[in-house]
Chains A and B, each alone.
Chain A
Amino acid sequence: MTDDNPEPPAGVEYRDIAGERRLATRGESVYGEPTDGEWRAWNPDRSKLGAMLESGMDTGLEGGETVLYLGAASGTTVSHVADFAGPTYAVEFAPRPTRDLLSVVDSRPRLFPLLKDARKPETYAHVVEADVDVIVQDVATRGQARVALENRRFLAAGGRLLLAIKARSEDVTRDPDAVFEDVLAELEVEREGEREGEREGEREGGYEVLETARLDEYHVDHLGVVARPR
């Protein structure tokens, strides 16, 4: 964390917890994180979004947003998001972590769990509302750019995509920088129109990448990305 970091969103503060200055939100404890009263520390080592904030990336988050969170896993990060954001839709595909996510959801009335595949938005478009302010994406699957593009339909025109790209999920053997380059290129849809047979609307638009930062201090071979829909 540096002093010229952008202000964290409302509801997220740097607080002295257990003798350290820590990013924190207010909510019921979830994963044994240290707390100070109702504030609980947000561990950037366990949260890519936490790492993006700690790294000083300009996420554009202000607090109170409507959020679609893809790859909620057991709810570590999404619990913090629900603490400061508005209605938060948490999509997770694996049953085991979702079981833990359910206990996070119990104390957060505006957090909505969905056991769905983020690669198939049509299976939850009847639940998730249109024009969300933010998509947070942290899915450990091949084709992370495609997931972002498929879910673009939920994002408001002025919204933000906050994406953590995991290089190893795309290809364990390749150089992470090369993987990141490919994923970013696909996000920006520079190859639009080249591929035949793409469904209408699926590829159009894409994203404009505003900022990227390696998150290696907290997460090896991950790239944080802030983007907005074109």
Chain B
Amino acid sequence: MTDTDGWFADATRDDEEGLAAAVREGSAADPRAWPREAVEAGFAADEDEYYDALHAATTAATRRTVAELERADDRQLVHAVRAMDDCRRTANELAERLAEWAGTVDTEAASGVEYARDLAASDRLDGEPGAEPITSLAERVVDLADEADDLREYVERQTPAVAPNLAALAGPVLAARLISLAGGLESLAKKPSGTVQVLGAEDALFAHLRGHASSPKHGIIYTHDAVRGTRAEDRGSASRALAGKLSIAARVDHYSGDLRPELEAELGERIEAIQARAEAEGDDGDTEAGTETRGESDD
């Protein structure tokens, strides 16, 4: 299709696929009197027939684009964030294995991914007998860690498109993890906020339900500043408030897609009020000491 043709120019009336594709992919700098031109070109007998064809083509085109976009986005995000976590965890595990092994030949051996980077970049084991597989393993660790970083960037880019409000409130990575734990944006949107509060703390929750333990205060939302930055005795309140707003955000994202900046302000106010309790009691706060870890299974 050239820049000056209407959507009907390159296909015949019975070519539904071609017409829908033209609606999806075509373009023109300026509109023209398309109904009249289509009739003059013999595409349709009259304008009524033209509009019938237009209705069929625009509906088919839009239905297909919606299906492609909708089916893909949150599913892609779920895979990406899970792959990111797998890469990170595997890199860390292999880095520990590497440290054990490399310690037998490398006098500067340390631990962690940083050591793997250091070893992979240096040539100090070159020529050392038996060092070749160790350096090779270090390179694999670095590759995996880099892959995890790339996936994190991807998640940070994608989440705001899939769930703008949730991403704004939770940060893109936590938002993606919540979607992943729930199994998709729609299922997250349908969960009560009490469930969202303990997503990721299933072990502790089931222990509680079996009667061996008190109920978990928070699941993965523990990683949010609103919870972590609140003293231990108020974290239950903070988690409840946060989970409430995150649930609303997920519902808005799933059901309407509007951006509601006021949610962020409301959450901020609520958390501020909860954190102010510590000051009101003349307590200087013990947000670091006595950390409540029950129910926190983010590892």
**Interface on A for B, CB 8 Å cutoff?**
73-74, 87, 94-99, 101-102, 105-106, 109-115, 122-123, 125-131, 140, 153-154, 168-169, 172
Contacts and interface: CB of A to CB of B under 8 A. Distances in A.
A65 to B, nearest CB: 14
Contacts of B61: 114-115
Interface of B: 1, 5-7, 22-23, 26-35, 51-52, 54-55, 58-59, 61-63, 65-66, 69-70, 73, 254-259, 261-262
Contact of A102 (B27, B63, B73): B63
A36 to B, nearest CB: 28
Given A96-B257, A127-B23, A153 B58 contact: no
Main secondary structure of the interface of B (DSSP, over half): helix
Contact of B58 (A112, A122, A129, A140): A112
Contacts of A168: 261-262
A125 B31 contact: yes
A112 B255 contact: no
A163 to B, nearest CB: 18
B31 A129 contact: yes
A153 B31 contact: yes
A113 B59 contact: yes
A49 to B, nearest CB: 17
A102 B62 contact: yes
A202 B31 CA distance: 14
B33 A97 contact: no
A13 to B, nearest CB: 25
Contact of B59 (A102, A127, A172): A102
Contacts of B32: 129-130
Nearest to A154: B31
A46 B256 CA distance: 13
Contacts of A153: 30-31
Nearest to B264: A172
B27 A126 contact: yes
Contacts of B55: 105, 109-112
A125 B255 contact: no
Contacts of A106: 59
Nearest to A68: B31
B66 A127 contact: no
A96 B7 CA distance: 25
Nearest to B164: A94
B261 to A, nearest CB: 5
Contacts of A74: 256
Contacts of B5: 126
B27 A123 contact: yes
Nearest to A131: B33
A229 to B, nearest CB: 14
Nearest to A122: B27
A114 B256 contact: no
A115 B28 CA distance: 16
B62 A115 contact: yes
Contact of A96 (B23, B34, B63, B70): B70
Given A114-B23, A127-B6, 6 more contacts: A98-B66, A101-B62, A126-B31, A129-B33, A130-B31, A140-B258
Given A97-B257, A109-B51, A140-B258, A125 B30 contact: yes
A98 B69 CA distance: 11
Contact of B26 (A97, A99, A127): A127
A147 to B, nearest CB: 16
Contacts of B261: 168, 172
Contact of B62 (A73, A113, A122, A169): A113
Nearest to A173: B261
Contact of A95 (B33, B34, B69, B255): B69
A129 B34 contact: yes
B31 A113 contact: no
Contacts of A96: 70, 254-257
A102 B66 contact: yes
B257 A126 contact: no
Contacts of B51: 87, 109-110
Given A127-B54, A127-B58, A122 B259 contact: no
Contacts of B22: 126
Q: In the A-B complex, list the 7 residue pairs whose CB atoms are closest, starting with the nearest.
A: A126-B28, A130-B31, A95-B69, A125-B28, A94-B257, A112-B58, A126-B26
Contacts of B73: 95
Q: Which of B31, B54, B262 has the most CB of A within 10 A?
A: B31
A126 B1 contact: yes
Contacts of A99: 66, 70
Q: Which of A102, A106, A129, A168 has the most CB of B within 10 A?
A: A129
Contacts of A105: 55, 59
A111 B55 CA distance: 7
A129 B35 contact: yes
A127 B7 contact: yes
